[in-house]
Amino acid sequence: MDLSTEIAGIRFKNPLLPAAGPLTGDDTKMKYIASLGVGGMVTKTISTKAAKVPRPCIVATRDYVVNAELWSEYGPNEWIEKFLPGIQSLEVPKIISIGYSKEQIEWLIPKLKDFGDAFEISTHYVGKDLDPIAEVARTASKLAQKPVFMKISPHMPDPVEFARVVTRAGASGVVAVNSLGPAYYVDPKTGNPPLGSENRYGWMSGPVIKPVALSIVQRIRQSLDIPIIGVGGVKNAEDVVEFLEVGASAVGMLSSALIFGKEQYKRVVDELEDALKKRAYKSVRDAIGKKLETHRADFTVKNPIVDLEKCTLCKLCEYVCPYFAIKVTDHVNVDLNACFGCGLCESRCPTRAISGVLQ
Ligand SMILES: Cc1cc2nc3c(=O)[nH]c(=O)nc-3n(C[C@H](O)[C@H](O)[C@H](O)COP(=O)(O)O)c2cc1C
Ligand code: SF4
Ligand code: SF4
């Protein structure tokens, strides 16, 4: 199966990229991540000065990560003299992540541009005003003479307007999204917030943010025909397909490789073909944008239908129903007058014995 994809004229052998972060923080790490089969490389964000990173700076549960990492802990000289020359032999497209202000971008791009195929520009720490962001996009596109992708953070109030403004200013596309927050994580074992950052704040990422990221990618792509790298909460190959379906042309992943281990990149790449086949796609490109249709709100109430062959009488549906409409005895009784058609029981039933409510 053809797993290749193309973004702004750059061909990737498959759509999975490492999202900017600690796993792509130097050349040794990037070579290892490339060896796991990813389709391209995205560096940790480089700025004009090394970041002074508070410690501890990463905590994780099975469902999310909270980090206080800022950008690269190495200054531009290490990147220019060692890390970027060190990855030139990699046979995948290289996207150099940089940040943040117009002045910093002006200083960085001429020094870095020969080492990469494209730039990704983080807008994480520059506020919500779109004018300076557009200015950065304009400056970067002029100086780079190669594709520039502006990375949006989920706290931006209007993602479509962000994408419109940066592409009008010359950017080739967007990366959606960065981590969500600020977030305040408390360790359940100690009752204390463990991060070393100011006020102990961090940024949240990983599987729980996937629905937020999918919605932002979809909203942008429904309004604008631009290349999007979808990022946020990817854990497996099915998630990659979901991002393609809402309009992403490539897909980044980081937190799941922090939660489950770096080999997660290999697992996702290995499973991608099957995940595409399961949804009857013939290639990666075939899946892109297949779920972009708009949907009018539906107010029809549908009630659950219970398949007693599959039901184990576990009672979960009774416990969770917010409208007190289910009673489980030696079968499942649904009070049709009380049922609101909310769908929760169907989504929570562990044996898929309930159908008829969700679309
Ligand atoms: C530990 C950590 C460090 C990160 N560092 C950067 C960074 O330097 N630049 C950047 O643009 N995004 C950074 N991110 C955000 C990720 O690239 C990504 O956009 C976000 O985590 C959502 O994807 P995920 O859920 O797959 O992790 C970082 C995320 C984590 C968890
Ligand atoms: S949650 Fe599902 S399996 Fe459990 S009692 Fe309800 S219908 Fe049966
Ligand atoms: S659809 Fe909602 S209201 Fe109806 S039985 Fe299920 S959980 Fe209760």
- Is the link from the previous residue into 182 a cis peptide, with omega within 30 of 0? yes
Continuous H helices in the chain: 27-35, 76-78, 84-86, 102-112, 130-144, 159-168, 210-223, 237-245, 255-260, 264-278, 284-287, 316-320, 344-348
Do residues 66 and 203 make contact, with C-beta atoms less than 8 angstroms apart?
A: yes
| pTM, to two decimals | 0.97
Is residue 169 helix, strand or coil?
coil
Question: So what's the pLDDT on residue 112?
Answer: 98
Distance 114 CA to ligand 1 centre (A): 24
Ligand 3 is surrounded, with C-beta below 6 A, by 304, 321, 323, 325-326, 334, 339-345, 357
User: Which residue ranges make up each domain of the chain?
Assistant: 5-287, 305-355
- Residues ≥6 apart with Cβ < 8 Å to 337: none
Q: Is 354 in the pocket of ligand 2 (CB under 6 A)?
A: yes
277-330: pLDDT as tens digits: 999 999 999 999 999 999 999 999 999 999 999 999 999 999 999 999 999 999
Q: Is 21 in the pocket of ligand 1 (CB under 6 A)?
A: yes
Distance 300 CA to ligand 3 centre (A): 14
Is residue 219 helix, strand or coil?
helix
Q: Is 255 in the pocket of ligand 1 (CB under 6 A)?
A: yes
Distance 274 CA to ligand 2 centre (A): 30
Question: So what's the pLDDT on residue 142?
Answer: 98
* The domain defined by 305-355 carries CATH number 3.20.20.10: no
Question: So what's the pLDDT on residue 178?
Answer: 98
Distance 214 CA to ligand 1 centre (A): 16
Question: So what's the pLDDT on residue 83?
Answer: 98
Residue 303: both structure tokens together: 């009630």
SS (H, E, C) 253-298: ECHHHHHHCCCHHHHHHHHHHHHHHHCCCCEHHHHCCCCCCCCCCC
> Which fold, 5-287?
TIM Barrel (3.20.20)
Measured between alpha carbons, how far is 75 from 78 in angstroms, rounded to an integer? 6
Whole-angstrom CA distances from 352 to 310, 328, 332, 339 are 7, 16, 13, 18
56-86: pLDDT as tens digits: 999 999 999 999 999 999 999 999 999 999 9
Ligand index nearest the alpha carbon of residue 354: 2
Measured between alpha carbons, how far is 272 from 253 in angstroms, rounded to an integer? 14
Q: How do beta strands 201-205 and 65-67 pair? A: antiparallel
Residue 55: its H or E element: none
Question: So what's the pLDDT on residue 326?
Answer: 98
Q: Is 153 in the pocket of ligand 1 (CB under 6 A)?
A: no
- Is the link from the previous residue into 100 a cis peptide, with omega within 30 of 0? yes
Question: So what's the pLDDT on residue 162?
Answer: 98
Distance 283 CA to ligand 1 centre (A): 28
Q: What's the average pLDDT block by block, 10 residues per block, for the chain (359 residues)? A: 98 98 98 98 98 98 98 98 98 98 98 98 95 98 98 97 98 98 97 98 98 98 98 98 98 98 98 98 98 96 98 98 98 97 98 97
Q: What letters, b where the CB count within 10 A reaches 16 and e where it falls short, cover 83-113?
A: bbebbeebebbbbbbbbbbbebbeebbeebb
- C-alpha angle 154/227/139, rounded to 5°? 75
High-pLDDT (> 90) share of the chain, %: 99
